[in-house]
Amino acid sequence: MIVAAASARAFVRAAAASGRRVIAADVFSDADTRAVAADTLRLAYADGGFRAEDVRAQIFPLLAQGAELVYGSGFETQPELLEELDQRGKVWGNGADKIRLLKSPDTFFALLSSLKIPFPEWRRTSPENLENWLCKRIGGSGGTHVFPVSCCVGSACYFQKKAAGEPVSLLFLADGKNVTAVGYNRQLLAPSDAMLYRYGGAVSGIELAPQTRDGMLKAAAEIAWLAGLRGLNSLDCMVDEHGFHVLEINPRLSATFALYDAANAGAVLFEAHMQACAGALPQALSPESAQAHLIYYAPSDFTVPPTLAWPDWVADVPQPGTVCKAEEPLCTVMAAADDTDAALALAQARVAELTNIFRSS
């Protein structure tokens, strides 16, 4: 089985733990990904997605030999590439038609409007008053696709009004008709000068008003039913004391999967993804603790020394000799605790500890 995503480590680990022979295909080919994968492919990535020629050269031949593919981020900007993969072998997950439906602002927000699901005001053309508006690249992910309106890059973008509150995602399973919630997660930002809305991590086990929780799950269920979604998906919203506004839906494996991988629970969740893709909705999972992960972006240019002793709470570990430029993702810091605040505080303390380790290495 091939597992392809911009960062595939969590999915590869879970798939391998479920007993599968896994070929990892992602951007980083990190040491801990290589440790659990039967083989690794390193794919070029630019403008929010994999380079099509690289996917064709490295993955097409494996599909021709009978390998199957499970995917995460990296294909939303080019659903036609996912279509080509599907024509050459078995692809587990939502098809290109669903990516087009849910990643095009025209069709997605029309669908939300028809279901009376709240969402922030949006438009294709630049607003006259730029205050409180953002520009978003269609099909982008990880927050790197969100810009100030003045940075809009043309027809590949749309404009959306800022919504009050904090970003919250719902990870859920769908079988084509019904859904079950996996968990509600707070999404965290790690802004830089160039990317104000860059993804910084997430924490699970958050408390929400029952009306908001139920409303988000109902919205996910209605979208999933109309679109025929299968497998794991995530619904991204802005949440405040008045309720929620839907920003987007990611119809594929998402980064918050890693928040449910404690004690090899990821193997169970990966198996649930496969079952849901096949049309059988598993029972809801019950995570025992809150999990947090924080993306550690290099504060300066850094070359990974061969003698560096990585703490066991670090994931996505780059191989020795890897050169990481300032503001590029270097690794991921993980933490678990009894509640959300404690998990996040522990993760933040570990980020500080890791910075000290790098300074002394």
Establish if 110 belongs to a structural domain: yes
Q: Are residues 144 and 232 in the same domain?
A: yes
Question: What is the CATH number for 142?
Answer: 3.30.470.20
Q: Are residues 122 and 67 in the same domain?
A: no
Instruction: Write out pLDDT tens, residues 25-36.
Output: 999 999 999 999
Q: Are residues 134 and 214 in the same domain?
A: yes
Establish if 285 belongs to a structural domain: no
pLDDT at 283 over 80: no
pLDDT at 143 over 80: no
Task: Work out the average pLDDT over 202-216.
Answer: 96
Burial of residue 206, with CB atoms counted within 10 A of its CB: 0-12 exposed, 13-18 middle, 19 or more buried: buried
Q: Are residues 149 and 209 in the same domain?
A: yes
Cβ-defined contacts of 77-85 (< 8 Å, 24+): 77/47, 77/48, 77/49, 77/137, 77/138, 77/139, 77/140, 78/49, 78/50, 78/52, 78/139, 79/103, 79/139, 81/49, 81/50, 81/52, 81/55, 84/56, 84/60, 85/55, 85/59, 85/60
Are 136 and 146 contacting, i.e. CB atoms less than 8 angstroms apart?
yes
The pLDDT value recorded for residue 156 is 82
Establish if 282 belongs to a structural domain: no
Are 112 and 166 contacting, i.e. CB atoms less than 8 angstroms apart?
no
Instruction: Write out pLDDT tens, residues 266-278.
Output: 899 999 999 999 9
The pLDDT value recorded for residue 8 is 97
**Quick one: pLDDT band at residue 47, thresholds 50, 70, 90?**
confident
- On average, the pLDDT of the chain sits at 93
**Quick one: pLDDT band at residue 127, thresholds 50, 70, 90?**
confident
Determine what percent of the chain is predicted with pLDDT higher than 90. 81
Task: Work out the average pLDDT over 111-129.
Answer: 92
pLDDT at 222 over 90: yes
**Quick one: pLDDT band at residue 197, thresholds 50, 70, 90?**
confident
- Which of 220, 246, 277 is where one domain is finished? 277
Q: Are residues 119 and 258 in the same domain?
A: yes
Q: Are residues 193 and 266 in the same domain?
A: yes
Instruction: Write out pLDDT tens, residues 60-105.
Output: 999 999 999 999 999 999 999 999 999 999 999 999 999 999 999 9
Task: Work out the average pLDDT over 212-221.
Answer: 98
The pLDDT value recorded for residue 212 is 98
Q: Are residues 11 and 54 in the same domain?
A: yes
Q: Are residues 39 and 173 in the same domain?
A: no
The pLDDT value recorded for residue 131 is 84
Q: Are residues 147 and 264 in the same domain?
A: yes
Bridge-based pairing of strands 329-337 and 290-297 is antiparallel
- Find the range with the poorest average confidence among 113-122, 153-162, 185-194, 269-278: 153-162
Are 205 and 290 contacting, i.e. CB atoms less than 8 angstroms apart?
yes
Nearest partner of 24 among 9, 252, 271, 32, judged by Cα: 9
pLDDT at 152 over 80: no
The pLDDT value recorded for residue 261 is 83
- Which of 237, 256, 277 is where one domain is finished? 277
Domain count, the chain: 3
Establish if 8 belongs to a structural domain: yes
Are 212 and 315 contacting, i.e. CB atoms less than 8 angstroms apart?
no
pLDDT at 286 over 80: no
The pLDDT value recorded for residue 359 is 85
Are 95 and 86 contacting, i.e. CB atoms less than 8 angstroms apart?
yes
CA 246 to CA 260: how far, in whole Å? 23
Q: Are residues 119 and 34 in the same domain?
A: no
Task: Work out the average pLDDT over 121-134.
Answer: 86
Question: What is the CATH number for 53?
Answer: 3.40.50.20
Establish if 283 belongs to a structural domain: no
**Quick one: pLDDT band at residue 151, thresholds 50, 70, 90?**
low
CA 44 to CA 57: how far, in whole Å? 11
CA 346 to CA 343: how far, in whole Å? 5
Instruction: Write out pLDDT tens, residues 302-341.
Output: 999 999 999 999 999 999 999 999 999 999 999 999 999 9
- Which of 277, 309, 344 is where one domain is finished? 277
Query: What domain range is 295 assigned to?
Result: 290-360
Q: Which ranges in the chain belong to alpha helices (H)?
A: 9-17, 31-36, 52-58, 60-64, 79-88, 96-103, 105-115, 210-227, 265-277, 340-360
Q: Are residues 173 and 32 in the same domain?
A: no
Q: Are residues 145 and 7 in the same domain?
A: no
pLDDT at 253 over 90: yes
Instruction: Write out pLDDT tens, residues 230-249.
Output: 999 999 999 999 999 999 99
The pLDDT value recorded for residue 189 is 93
Establish if 284 belongs to a structural domain: no
